[in-house]
Amino acid sequence: MAPPILKLDDIFLSFGGAPLLAGAGLQVEPGDRICLVGRNGSGKSTLMKIAAGMVEAQSGEVFRHPAVTIRYLEQAPDFADFKTVQAYAEAGLGPGDDPYRVTYLLEHLGLTGQEDPKNLSGGESRRAALARVMAPEPDILLLDEPTNHLDLPTIEWLEDELRKTRSALVLISHDRRFLEKVSTTTVWLDRGTSRRLDRGFAHFEVWRDEVLEAEELEQHKLGKAIEREEHWLRYGVTARRKRNMRRLGELQTMRSNYRGHKGPQGTVQAQITEGRESGKLVVEAENIAKTYDRPVVAPFSIRVHRGDRIGLVGPNGAGKTTLLKMLTGQLAPDSGTIKLGTNLEIATVDQKREDLNPEETLSHYLTDGRGETLLVNGEQRHVAGYMKDFLFQPEQIRTPIKNLSGGERARLMLARIMAKPSNLLILDEPTNDLDIETLDLLQEIVASYNGTVILVSHDRDFLDRTVTSTIAPASPDAPDGRWIEYAGGYTDMLAQRKGALEERRRAEKAEKPKAELSTSATEPPKGKGKLSYKQKFALENLPKEMAKAEAEITAREKEMADPTLFTRNPAAFNKLAAEMEKLRNGLARMEEEWLELEMLREQLEG
């Protein structure tokens, strides 16, 4: 095992009241892919800032290898004194770092580098910050919510980039699919302490439940042991006084441990207030279109019925929010018609949280300033009790919204929309800043909601678990305003799109005259209605060659999976990477050639 290049041990930190961190730890070795998970407010970001040297622990051991470089992804980047994004990103480079990496990263993150940092949106700021911390390829990358405000194509590109990097990673994210694809180790921060699982996030939830069940069993056993000792002290045969005093002391210790045990933080307990039933037809759109400097929505038609749960996906700037606003009557189309159904009661979560007034208190926001009670499912509730359902403390009742974390703001907006009667939920990026447990609750609410849901999200797992159909751009790489509705969630949409693409390619190739086939190996012999000997040989042997290439790729992948390889032998690592690229390109060419030959065989035989 390689020695750690970063180690935090027995970290203690308190801001007054209960400690935020009490014995937490984190150990990073070369090549690690660690996801740091825990409830909102559990101290994940604080522990990461201690690792980066931005916050000092009150006690505990902090070791950073002196030769190691660390980069931390800031939630609020400081662009002061930088005239362009390129200049800001290049400022993160060290001596000997390749400046081309900055250009490469900015290009793939959708930035030119010439943008004025003062005019960046939240998503663009996050992309610029990613380019700055990733460009130097540091020994350790600390990424706090790197996927927030990124669209799906960029998230998928980032996954590939992080899987290829030589940097050790520590990640905080609410995106399950992202963590499953990138992480190989999980550190769970819970009640101030940390536990480590040497497996990726895909195994976390089962492990967490097992740990909590074992903990609950231990508490039950301790309670029974206390009962036995109390019975012995009251009714047992009197023994020597010293023995009695010893057992009495042990009993006091057990009682202290039992009473002092702090169980896991509760989960959000809430049920949405559903309004009266809407009409069967909720939205009817006929050939609606919208153009700004380019077509954002080309003529698009859809019927949304009561009970539908529809997801909108696509790159940033494709027009998802524009289409959403047109479907809900907030924005008039340039052409076409929108007809909304009857009895609609709409509840909305806005991705920009514009509904939140930073100076307003939690109580005032939830009650609309109408005292200290609110009506929830026909029942009057005191605002403090209702806040507790969403894990807010009673003392936060007068807290200004500006003092809340991103996760707390997201929970507050959920609390408000769940209290209001509705039969149409509009959710624009609802998963941002939610912890996994609250995200689970939101999934259950959306999946079981009797009304209609239209949502925009970049969270693939959330979409797969909730929606009944998905609207996506017809051309995802170059959105041209055309949108298509697919049955099912995000994964279903990808499968349907892939099937349609393959079918179209087959049709296009079948229509080409034989003389136009792309490779000489696939040219049909003139005047003959069958494959040549060369073509038959290729058709029979290509599958064997493809299997051989796949085996060689797998073997190299296993070698490159060694987290210490790059540190021990960079030349060998780079050689393997080059061989992998060559093998994959060769495999792609063989697959294409085999497909063309197979199509030619079918054409000649039928």
* Interatomic CA distance for residues 161 and 490, integer angstroms: 22
Answer yes or no: same fold for 6-204 and 281-499: yes
The β-bridge partners of 286 are 337
pLDDT higher than threshold 50 for residue 526: no
Q: What is the mean pLDDT of the chain?
A: 83
Task: Name the residue ranges covered by the structural domains of the chain.
Answer: 6-204, 207-260, 281-499, 512-605
Question: For the ranges 309-318, 455-464, 475-484, 497-506, which has the lowest average pLDDT?
Answer: 497-506
* Interatomic CA distance for residues 295 and 322, integer angstroms: 11
Report CA-CA distances (Å) from 94 to 91, 98, 142.
Answer: 8, 9, 17
Residue 361: DSSP 8-state: B
pLDDT higher than threshold 70 for residue 514: no
* Beta-carbon-side half-sphere exposure of residue 100 (alpha carbons within 13 Å): 0
Closest to 72 in 3D by CA, of 152, 6, 164? 6
* Interatomic CA distance for residues 50 and 144, integer angstroms: 13
* Interatomic CA distance for residues 281 and 402, integer angstroms: 40
Coil, strand, or helix at residue 48?
A: helix
pLDDT tens digit sequence for 75-123 = 778 888 899 999 999 999 988 888 899 999 999 998 999 999 888 877 7
- The H helix count followed by the E strand count for the chain is 18, 20
Q: At the topology level of CATH, where does 281-499 sit?
A: Rossmann fold (3.40.50)
pLDDT tens digit sequence for 550-568 = 888 878 777 776 666 666 7
pLDDT band at residue 239, thresholds of 50, 70 and 90?
very low
**Where are the strands (E) in 173-268, listed by range?**
185-190, 193-197
Pairing verdict, β 295-305 and 346-349: unpaired
Report CA-CA distances (Å) from 69 to 140, 142, 158, 450, 507.
Answer: 6, 11, 21, 52, 53
The β-bridge partners of 346 are 424
More confident residue, 521 or 75: 75
- What is the CA 548 to chain-centroid distance, rounded? 36
- Positive/negative CA dihedral, 128, 129, 130, 133: positive
- What is the CA 77 to chain-centroid distance, rounded? 21
Closest to 315 in 3D by CA, of 180, 162, 464, 149? 149
Task: Let me know if domain 6-204 sits in CATH 3.40.50.300.
Answer: yes
pLDDT higher than threshold 50 for residue 240: no
Domain 512-605 is of which CATH architecture?
A: Orthogonal Bundle (1.10)
Average pLDDT over residues 149-169: 91
CB 338 within 8 A of CB 285: yes
Q: Please tell me the predicted confidence (pLDDT) of residue 197.
A: 94
CB 300 within 8 A of CB 474: no
pLDDT higher than threshold 70 for residue 511: no
Closest to 99 in 3D by CA, of 70, 67, 125, 137? 137
Q: Please tell me the predicted confidence (pLDDT) of residue 354.
A: 62
pLDDT band at residue 163, thresholds of 50, 70 and 90?
very high
Closest to 596 in 3D by CA, of 544, 554, 539? 539
Question: For the ranges 114-118, 128-132, 445-449, which has the lowest average pLDDT?
Answer: 445-449
